[in-house]
Structure 1
């Protein structure tokens, strides 16, 4: 009886594995057909800011693996028809189509594909299909269309922003804001991590000229900014990766870059500018972790931090003061006195991360 049971189990096992093998053979022998008939882009896809809430629908004929198997379709874009650097759009398919807003597409085109706003570009699109592990991914034939991305950021009035590969913000829609200087309305500044190579430009609302760069070479470290008539060229980064302070003086239409100089002042060091602006009170750079830090024995009291730059009054240090509250850096800019934070005396490390705009005490 036991022998019969073992024989029966063995037969069932052989039958089960045979069925699984048959399924694999069927899948491998099936004809794979990628998605096709992509429609909706047209020859030219017109997009604009007033249309940002409108819906774009792209239809297609789904791919087939020749058997009933789970499959997922995704929409991919590239700036070349050979798709040497494809980017996948984060939108799910439904009823053999993709639906998304004009605004979502514009954000993808400017930030993922890094297309320049207000310049017509040719874009390639295709449908990618994938299934279970080990099953080939299928790609449709690409379709090409022309489109012109638009600038879509909410600008603060009379405020500059940075963008460019040299400052880690490739698209104009993904920008770094310059801070205003209290009592000095023509000046603004920001601390930004700059890569070893690359460039950047400024962008703003129409009152501040839109997108501008430099005109000519720097003189004594100062760049002349572009104008509406001559918007200028990209501004190169200094060439060594690190934190830099970018200052803009609208009265002279100049821009100056210098290594970031951040200082502690006030009760914690028992001194005030300009006497507190010394090397022992200056934050050091941790290049590996892309932070700035200061380690020393502090006195207890209110934490006061500020930046120095040739465009900022040295004696009026509080014009460019900042603090971190609940771990987030807050700038005084052109506002009033900030909320204060007290620290206890003793050996501590203050760490600032200007990429993520955070601060902490360790």
Structure 2
């Protein structure tokens, strides 16, 4: 009998132990309403953002009901209601944060420029309001801390704006996967000018970006659109929306306007031309020299049949008709290669009756 009682006690202890273990491995998630951002040391003093390197901030971790790996971002505003905010680029993963004052200064300058301030209005003394946003991976809702006020001395601080040397297109066509963006082709010798033949699906959108990331992307507000091919472009939640789908030749020029980098996009007919000895020494765009345009993304543009044996040249017009070579390209070993900012490409020979086939989506081609 004693053995039976002892066995039952052991079984009961195992059950309770199992329940405790389950609670530990499956914690109950609590959605916190807020958490505490502490005022920095000497917060009553004026922080000179341009002569110091950093400010230390600390916070209490939001109470999620378990110890979570939290990512913090710091938002700043000129008002305590945070109606307009700037987000510092550096993120933090601990409750003690070394905040770079240069990042604060750049964000604060951007806020004042948005309010109509100009460079001559600086330096100035101003309060800034700070708060943290806490995010845990796989949890949908962010949590915001209380806001704190710091007094600052601010000089005009913006990173130098440069004309991009590369430009990318992201959008619905690549499911907004910025690893699968299209790199635009530089127009030879023209700073900040790029082109690309692209198939854009109906009722879809794109953005431009200096890098193959969304962080440097520019949309409808930052781009002046010249719709020369009835694409019916709209502002689609800040993106450049195309109502009509199909092939387009996009020609983009980047320029610095004041303290901003802006773009002008010409949306043109997807006209590809065959030039050179293989087509009777024709060197200017005309209807008879155009490639046929496919109806889908993954198919060939097809040139007219070669009328002569000799050099094959192909191009779009991204600058002007006399400078067609600034936007030429050719197929080598079944691979499409753009001239871009490079020198003369190797010459490819064609025979009478052959045609040049180019798949601009796949980056392939052939002569046959």
Please report the TM-score for the alignment, with normalisation by the length of structure 1: 0.51
1:358 to 2:367 alignment = no
Unpaired stretches in structure 2, ≥5 consecutive residues: 1-23, 28-65, 74-88, 92-132, 143-162, 229-236, 256-261
Counterpart contact for 2:309–2:351, Cα < 8 Å: yes
From 220, 230, 241, the equivalent of 1:214 is 220
Correspondent of 2:247 among 243, 253, 257: 243
**Aligned partners of 1:265 and 1:271 also within 8 Å:** yes
**Relative to structure 1, is the Cα distance of residues 325 and 220 closer, same or farther in structure 2, using a 3 angstrom cutoff?**
closer
1:308 pairs with 309, 317, 333, which one? Answer: 317
Q: Deviations over 1:307-354 (max 9, x none)?
A: 014xx1220110111011111111111111111211122x22321111
Given that residues 357 and 365 in structure 2 are in contact (C-alpha distance below 8 angstroms), is that contact kept between their aligned partners in structure 1?
yes
Which of 281, 293, 297 is the equivalent residue of 1:285?
Answer: 293
How many residue pairs are counted as aligned between the two chains?
214
- Give yes or no for the alignment of 1:253 onto 2:263: yes
Q: Which residue of 1 aligns with 2:232?
A: none
Task: Assess, with a 3 A threshold, how the Cα gap between structure 1 residues 180 and 37 changes in structure 2: closer, same or farther.
Answer: same
Distance 1:322 1:255 in 2: 21
- Deviation of 1:297 after TM superposition, in Å, equals 4.0
Q: CA RMSD in A?
A: 3.7
In 1, the alpha carbon distance for the partners of 2:200 and 2:170 equals 11
Query: What SS is found at the alignment partner of 1:235?
Result: strand
Q: Deviations over 1:225-270 (max 9, x none)?
A: xxxxxxx921112512x22111111247311112211101010112
Question: Any conservation in 2 of the 1:44–1:146 contact (CA below 8 Å)?
Answer: no
* Residue number in structure 1 paired with 2:303: 294
State whether structure 2 residue 331 is matched by structure 1 residue 324: yes
Contact 2:290 2:304 in 1 (8 A): no
**Using a 3 Å threshold, how does the CA distance of structure 1 residues 344 and 320 change in structure 2: closer, same or farther?**
same
Contact between 2:226 and 2:267, CA under 8 Å: does it hold in 1?
no
Contact (CA 8 Å) 1:45, 1:146: kept in 2 or not?
A: no
- Per the alignment, residue 11 of structure 2 pairs with none
1-structure distance, mates of 2:361, 2:205: 17
Q: Is the 8 A contact 1:246 1:256 kept in 2?
A: yes
1:163 corresponds in structure 2 to 170
Query: Following superposition of structure 1 onto structure 2, how do residues 19-58 of structure 1 map, counting pairs within 5 Å?
Result: 43-44=68-69, 46=71
Distance (Å, rounded) in 2 between the aligned partners of 1:38 and 1:349 = 65
Q: C-alpha separation between the residues in 2 aligned to 1:42 and 1:293?
A: 61
Does the residue aligned with 2:279 lie in a helix, a strand or coil? coil
Where has structure 1 moved over 4 Å in runs of 4 or more?
36-39, 41-51, 119-124, 144-147, 216-220
For residues 290 and 337 of structure 1, do their structure 2 counterparts lie closer, same or farther at Cα, with a shift above 3 Å needed?
Answer: same
Rounded to whole Å, the distance in 2 between the matches of 1:185 and 1:348 is 36
Q: Which residue of 1 aligns with 2:274?
A: 264
Offset of residue 121 of structure 1: 7.8
In the superposition, relative to structure 1, how do residues 45 and 121 fare at CA in structure 2: closer, same or farther (>3 Å)? closer
Structure 1 SS opposite 2:216: coil
Change (3 A) 1:146 1:352: farther
Q: Distance in 2 between matches of 1:47 and 1:330?
A: 44
**Match in the other structure for 1:18:** none
Preserved CA contact (<8 Å) 1:120 1:146:
no
